[in-house]
């Protein structure tokens, strides 16, 4: 694992602890993984490992589900947000390349 990874992104929490932290059952957590709403890593023995960011995401998912939002809709929101972030990153990269190419200094 990269050393630059923040503690929030490190996948070190077991499903049992995640269940305790979120109030969700282990089955619910696995279901959200099946629906591609969270992406735990697997240990060499196949155990799921979650990050604090995953815990926050699960709490957000649970809150949306309580409001009646379907998992499909949550997934679509996630895809839309990811695309928006990728577009922003591409724009910043392009801006940096243009600035470097033409020697433009950012104040």
39-80 pLDDT per residue, tens: 999 999 999 999 999 999 999 999 999 999 999 999 999 999
Computed over every residue of the chain, the mean pLDDT equals 91
Return the pLDDT at 3.
55
Strand partners, 42: 48
20-30 pLDDT per residue, tens: 999 999 999 99
Whether 25 and 15 have beta carbons less than 8 Å apart is answered as: no
3-class state of residue 49 by DSSP: strand
Return the pLDDT at 103.
78
Strand partners, 100: none
Distance (Å, whole) CA 74 – CA 60? 10
């Amino acid at each position: 694992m990269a050393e630059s990874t923040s503690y929030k992104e490190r996948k070190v929490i077991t499903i049992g602890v995640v269940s305790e932290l979120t109030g969700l059952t282990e089955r619910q957590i696995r279901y959200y993984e099946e629906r591609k709403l969270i992406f735990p890593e697997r240990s060499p023995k196949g155990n799921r490992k979650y990050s604090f960011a995953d815990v926050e995401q699960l709490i957000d998912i649970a809150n949306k589900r309580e409001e009646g939002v379907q998992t499909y809709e949550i997934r679509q929101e996630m895809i839309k947000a990811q695309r928006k972030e990728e577009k922003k990153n591409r724009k910043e990269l392009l801006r940096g390349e243009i600035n470097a190419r033409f020697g433009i200094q950012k104040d």
